[in-house]
Structure 1
Amino acid sequence: MSAHLPPLPPVGGETTGVNVVDLITREHRELLALCEELTASGTDAARRRTLAQVLVASLSRHLSAEEQYLYPAVRSTVPDGDGLTTRELQEDQALLVALRMLDAAGDGDRAERAANVAERLHRHAEAAAGELVPLLARLVPVEDLIRLGNRFEMAEEAAPTRPHPGTPLRPPWNKVVDPAVALVDKVRDVIGRRTTYHRDL
């Protein structure tokens, strides 16, 4: 069953890139590792502050890309995909609110708010690994999964670096609003010298 995507131009005669299943699985591992270090008792305040910035930015980008491409693919190809994605969007909304609270946290309450984000992120990753991703891998041709991975990566680069629970969660509006909001976020990141990528830690 196709994920109903227009084709990307092939490179070297075949579709190349990262399979969206592998990409999401890897990113969930990286995000959970960030949470683990952020909530560890031995992490000092300055490091915790930087880790929180990277987690907020990385998870904001990740959720935006899932809402733009993963959930629509699940909705169009998986039996009861609409019910599954509606449930996940509700959970993601709560995760974005928790992420916003972490982003606004001072040193004194950062650990507690990070623990709340970590708990919600664990649930998010378990739902993907236990249900959404295996169903997608079974029902969607590998070429479509690679094309989804390509779009997912492009969406992340154009996504907000801060949580915006009030913005649209479904296409087509999130594909219009998220990049516009992202421009403002990225200007604020530069002005505030904010660390937003794991590679910069």
Structure 2
Amino acid sequence: MTPSDAPTILDVLAGDARSITALATKLAATTDLFDENVETVQLVRQIVQTHVAAEQYLHPLIRETIPGGEALAHQQFAEHRAMEELLRNLEDVDPNTDRFKSLLADVRDKWSANAEYLEHDIYPTLREKCDWARLVELADSVVGAENLAPTRPRSVAAEGHNTSVLLSLSQGYIDRTIDAFTHRGHAGTSEIDARLRAGRYDDDGSDGGES
């Protein structure tokens, strides 16, 4: 991989957003109860992890770089809190009900709308104004933050970078410990996670070939 091909923080987050949208769309069409349970857990997990990474690394860039960035970052944080409340409700509802499908549609539509806003209105400005090497360096930071982030909607979150890191590390450790003992997500969660990381839910064929 040449330096110009190296992914930036914006590439990573945009790829995550597309995969999450695709997973939500796939879940809406799923009729198998086992798949619904597994993929609902994974959808919640991936959205929360992406939120945490964005709050720790994308939002500071927005504050520093874009005029009115403080208000924009605060608006994004509020979007995250509202989305995680939706996710909390989604997890509490029987997947066989119309209420589940309605909540899932809300999650998918709100997620897609915000992802499109970021990709079309925010990311181009950051690409233009930010040092490219810094954007590349932050790509690894985002992946690391996602790997250590909570796996459930957060009861407590903070906008400041340092406080967010501390809260995420502690809650992430607790969530993962509980997940290990309760087998939350059941079998198949790691496979779905791998597909998300590879962007394989962007393709309607769930298996896909080697890239």
TM bucket, shorter chain: 0.7 to 0.9
Match of 1:189 among 174, 179, 182: 179
With structure 2 as the length reference, what TM-score do the two structures score? 0.82
Tell me whether 82-91 or 31-40 shows the greater mean CA deviation: 82-91
In structure 1, the partner of 2:165 is 175
- What is the rounded CA distance, in whole Å, between the counterparts of 1:22 and 1:131 in structure 2? 15
Tell me if structure 1 keeps the 8 A contact 2:151–2:176.
yes
Structure 2 partner of 1:6:
none
* CA distance in 2: counterparts of 1:200 and 1:150, whole angstroms: 17
> What is the aligned-residue identity percentage?
24
Would the aligned equivalents of 2:42 and 2:193 in 1 still touch at CA under 8 Å?
Answer: no
The superposition leaves residues 73-125 of structure 1 with CA deviations (integer Å, 9 ceiling, x where unpaired) of 11111121112111111111101111111122222343222112112101220
Q: Cα–Cα, structure 1 residues 165 and 136, in superposed 2: closer, same or farther, change >3 Å?
A: farther
The equivalent position to 1:153 in structure 2, one of 143, 151, 172, is: 143
Segments of structure 2 that go 5 or more residues without pairing to the other structure are: 196-211
Q: Counterparts of 1:122 and 1:172 in 2: how far apart (Å)? A: 28
Alpha carbons of 1:175 and 1:15: their partners in 2 closer, same or farther (altered >3 Å)?
farther
Alignment of 1:1-201 (within 5 A): 18-40=7-29, 42-107=30-95, 108=97, 109-195=99-185, 196-197=189-190, 198-199=192-193
> Distance in 1 between the 2:181 and 2:10 partners?
35
Structure 1 alignment gaps of length 5 or more: 1-13
What is the rounded CA distance, in whole Å, between the counterparts of 1:130 and 1:200 in structure 2? 27
Kept in 2, the 8 Å contact 1:18–1:149? The answer is: yes
**Bigger helix share:** 2
1:53, 1:24 → 2: CA distance? 20
Is the alpha carbon distance of 1:141 and 1:118 closer, same or farther for their aligned partners in structure 2, counting shifts above 3 Å? Answer: same
C-alpha RMSD over aligned residues: 2.0
